[in-house]
Structure 1
Amino acid sequence: AAIRRPRRKIVVPWFYQLVMLIGKLLPGLADVVLGSTFYQRSYRQRKHIADEQRSQTNSRS
C-alpha cells in the first residue's frame, strides 16, 4: 500500500489563483480565450521575443 501524505501546496500570487478558479469553473471560457487568434498571436510574439533574447545572451558567452 502507498503511503498517504498531504499534497504539497504551490504558492502563487492571489490573482493566479483567481484565474485558475475561473478556468476550473468555466473550462469552456478558458478554451475560448486561450484558443482565440488574438491570444495565440500575442503568445507567439512574446515567445519570439524571448527566443531572440535568449539567443543573444547565448551568443555573448
Structure 2
Amino acid sequence: TNKYGDLKKIFKEHKGEHPVYEELYGRWQKAGVDYWVNGSKELCDEIVKLLGDNSLRIR
C-alpha cells in the first residue's frame, strides 16, 4: 500500500484547525493548511494503525 497516500486521505477525512508537522530528512516542517486536522481520537487511532505506535506526537 501507499502509506503517504493513505495518510493524506486520513488528513482530508479529519480536516480541522490544528496544524500538522512532519519530519522529513531530520527536519520538522509544517504541512499546508489543506492537511490540518481536527485532532479527534478517531484521527489519532487511524494514524497509529497506519504508521505504528511511535508515529504520532500531540502538543
Q: One fold, TM greater than 0.5? A: no
Higher relative contact order (CA 8 A, sep 6+): 2
Structure in which a larger fraction of residues adopt helix = 1
> What TM-score, normalized to structure 1?
0.24
Structure in which a larger fraction of residues adopt strand = 2
> What TM-score, normalized to structure 2?
0.24
